Structure 1
Amino acid sequence: MPTILVVGATRGLGASLANAYAYAPNNTVLATARSSDPPANTENLTYIPSIDIATPDASKNLLNHLHKNSISHIDTVIITAGYFATESLKEPSFEAQEKMYRTCTIGPTILVTALANASDTLLDSKSKVVFVSSESGSITLRHESEGGGNYGHHASKSALNMCAKLLSLDLKERGVAVAVVHPGFMRTEMTKNVGFDKFWDDGGAVTPNVAAKSLMEWISIFGISKTGQYWAPRGAADIGTAEPVLGPKDTLPTPLQLPW
């Protein structure tokens, strides 16, 4: 029975992934929640409470749960947890940037290193680690047509991309496949809260359920041959800077490997 760990699984893409994986009766799904009172467990979906990836205790709390429940191997780890705050040249925010780095970069990196160091079997040659990033983390795709601003959002994703690349090098000899993905522009509370709902229609935003389906299909074919790479499972359709940087969207493949 495959064991799937979804980190950040109470809303948005994480919730959609956890529920979709749990729909298959042979899967064992572990889903983390920041809250101490997460949704009720189902037959093969177990919520792990009080896992705030932006805090130093997240890894310890997660490993305690795995140990208590005799979880000795994880087939797929998907880290979806994120935080998005907008900034501009005139309104930067030290506090917001710090929270974005802790949530989007530091926490995910420390958590995976903790899993890797916990035992030789928890992550092994049958394991896949997928970091949910964004095309916003691609330096190559940043173009004058988009403009600047949102420093912490873009830079924390770029930093996550770098950490994922380095982890792929550290874990390659063990056979653990590591990738970073842009799951697509989504109609979520996160994008709505920063006012990006005004771009949903023109930007081709999809629901988390649709994005989850595409990502799961990609993960099913992802393996060690693609470790250390950066992919958009849904292609370039929702990447606004794809055409001025990479060329006409109708000539780009789906899935699309993204430039760093």
Structure 2
Amino acid sequence: MSSPRYTQADQPARFAAAKTAGNARMLTTDYYDPSLLAGKRVAVTGANRGIGLALATELTAAGAKLVALVRQSSAALDALGPSELVTGVDVTDDAACSSIAALVSAPVDVLVNNAGYFYEPVERIDDGSLNFKEEMKMIDICALGPLRVTNAFFHAKLLQPGARVAMITSQGGSIGWRTVQNPTGGDYGHHMSKAAANMMSALVAQEMRQHGVSVGILHPGFNKTEMTKKYEEIWEVEGAVDPAVGAKRVLHEVGRIDMESTGKFINCEDGLEIPW
């Protein structure tokens, strides 16, 4: 019997099935091999907090050379002692992203586009809670932001053949899954921004393959961060994990990005694909 290609849309059912089956791939990080990133130059946007800080922490522990790209640093990030710390990187600012060329000293092995934004209220039409300004902000940060940064790295020759780009996106960008995960609609800005991010990522993967750069489109799984706190009541039902665990899941998949997998939309919880 062949292995499934796609992960399961119903997240509570997915997590429950993993517990019943004792699925080590979903319930542990025993498969993670930090040596795959040891010595690699890895740039991470939004490395000062949340999953970005967890990635920075794990990369440092793995012996990677961390290039942290942030609007402003944090005490926790400073304590890691990144190989390079670039502040003032606002991913919505064309000029700030273009300035990266002069601030990063050498090409990177991996660029992790992690910086994101999640407006807390669950927007709906029927209760009058839509916020168009916030929706545009999410699209700008989550979809155009990674494109600005990747563009800047490419033109600065910071992405050489063999480099990898990881786009941290979300299963929320899967249009095919909305009937399961959002059966009554709502949460417009978040889902639109992630669908736009997925389209951007797929196109970047197609273009960058011509330059020898592979692109992974990664759903990091459900992590217990400030951005997901509005869903705190379902964290345990849906298998949300500490960001330290989530970071290992993500970096495992980052280590697997290559030309064979480029452009695929992967769930870091189980390594399976997510349908568009």
Provide the TM-score with structure 1 as the length reference.
Answer: 0.84
Q: 2:249 touches 2:268 (CA, 8 Å); kept in 1? A: yes
Aligned residue for 2:52?
14
Q: Which stretch of structure 1 is more off in the superposition, 93-102 or 49-58?
A: 49-58
Aligned residue for 2:147?
109
Q: Distance in 2 between matches of 1:82 and 1:173?
A: 27
Deviation, structure 1 residue 53: 1.1
Aligned residue for 1:80?
114
Question: Are 1:200 and 2:238 an aligned pair?
Answer: no
Question: Are 1:60 and 2:76 an aligned pair?
Answer: no
Aligned residue for 2:254?
219
**Secondary structure of the corresponding residue to residue 127 of structure 1:** strand
Q: 2:266 touches 2:274 (CA, 8 Å); kept in 1? A: yes
Count of aligned positions: 232
Aligned residue for 2:216?
179
Question: Are 1:188 and 2:225 an aligned pair?
Answer: yes
Consecutive unaligned residues of structure 1, counting only runs of 5 or more, are 236-254
Q: Any residues of structure 2 matched to 1:113-124 within 5 Å, and which? A: 113-119=151-157, 122-124=158-160
Q: Distance in 2 between matches of 1:57 and 1:189?
A: 28
State the AA in 2 paired with 1:74. V
Aligned residue for 2:275?
259
State the AA in 2 paired with 1:257. E
Out of 174, 182, 196, the residue aligned to residue 138 of structure 1 is: 174
**Secondary structure of the corresponding residue to residue 78 of structure 2:** coil
Q: 2:57 touches 2:80 (CA, 8 Å); kept in 1? A: no
Aligned residue for 1:233?
268
Q: Which stretch of structure 1 is more off in the superposition, 143-152 or 33-42?
A: 33-42
Question: Are 1:28 and 2:44 an aligned pair?
Answer: no
Question: Are 1:94 and 2:110 an aligned pair?
Answer: no
Q: Distance in 2 between matches of 1:227 and 1:36?
A: 31
Q: 1:18 touches 1:45 (CA, 8 Å); kept in 2? A: no
Provide the TM-score with structure 2 as the length reference.
Answer: 0.79
Give me the identity figure in percent.
32
Q: 2:118 touches 2:138 (CA, 8 Å); kept in 1? A: yes
**Secondary structure of the corresponding residue to residue 216 of structure 2:** strand
Q: Supply the RMSD in Å over aligned alpha carbons.
A: 1.7
Deviation, structure 1 residue 49: 1.1
State the AA in 1 paired with 2:245. V
State the AA in 1 paired with 2:213. V
Deviation, structure 1 residue 41: 5.9
